[in-house]
Every structure is written in C-alpha cells, then in structure tokens.
Amino acid sequence: QVQLAESGGGSVQTGGSLRLSCAASGYRPNCMGWFRRTPGKAREGVAVIHRGGSDTKYADSVKGRFTISQDNAKNEVYLQMDNLQPEDTAMYYCAADDHRGVVAGICLLQYSYDYLGQGTQVTVSS
C-alpha cells in the first residue's frame, strides 16, 4: 500500500512560480506524477516520471513551463511550475503506479494510476 502526501500549492499571479512536492510512504512505485482537475473538465495528466529517471512525459499545455524531478532517496517527486497562467488553476493530485503490463521503464500520462493523493489547490490570478 502506498500513501501520497502533497504540499506546495497556493495562489500566485500570472507569470509566477510554484513548486509542488509529493512524498510516497510504503514504497516508491515505478511511476509517479501529477494530474490536475478543474470543475467541469476531465482529469488531465500533467507530468510523470519513472523512478529510474529514464522517462518523463509532459502534457503539451505545460511543456517548457513545468519540470518534474525526483529524489529517490526520499521517495519524493516534485513539480516546478514556472510562468503560471490562469488556465493552470486546478486541483493538483500526486499519483503513483507500478505500470504492470506496460513496457519496462515507461510511464504513461493516459493511464489509470492505482494511488492518488488528496490534492493541493493551485490558483493563478490574472
């Protein structure tokens, strides 16, 4: 069993930055990442990373602005969000999954992750 604890959300103005952190307890699954949800919209995969560091993926909407990283010694994953825009406003969730049945070393944005955190709110004002 894995428990995920997010931190780092908040409110910023357009162009600002935030850094989200996610700590996994229990063990560190192969794939960890961030999803976001806005009322009335489907959940969107934002960024994911494989524990080996060999694979990272980003949603097109955040490429060049967001960076996912990890500290395996701490079982933590981070999302550095720069140049935030109002459309980035959402509840951000940390997710983790072993991706059994998927090609080794690969993490997918479009996938049903087994573990999900409670979420942290990010609000970007214009």
Position 36 confidence tier, pLDDT thresholds 50, 70, 90: very high
Stronger pLDDT, 94 or 110, i.e. the higher one: 94
How do residues 86-95 score in pLDDT, each as one tens digit? 999 999 999 9
Instruction: Decide the pairing of beta strands 18-25 and 3-7.
Output: antiparallel
CA pair distance 32, 23, nearest whole angstrom? 10
b/e sequence 87-115, b meaning 16+ C-beta within 10 Å: ebbbbbbbbbbbbeeeeeeebbbebebeb
Check pLDDT > 90 for residue 68. yes
Q: Single out the residue of 51, 99, 104 nearest to residue 74, CA to CA.
A: 51
Confidence at residue 1, expressed as pLDDT on a 0 to 100 scale: 87
Confidence at residue 54, expressed as pLDDT on a 0 to 100 scale: 85
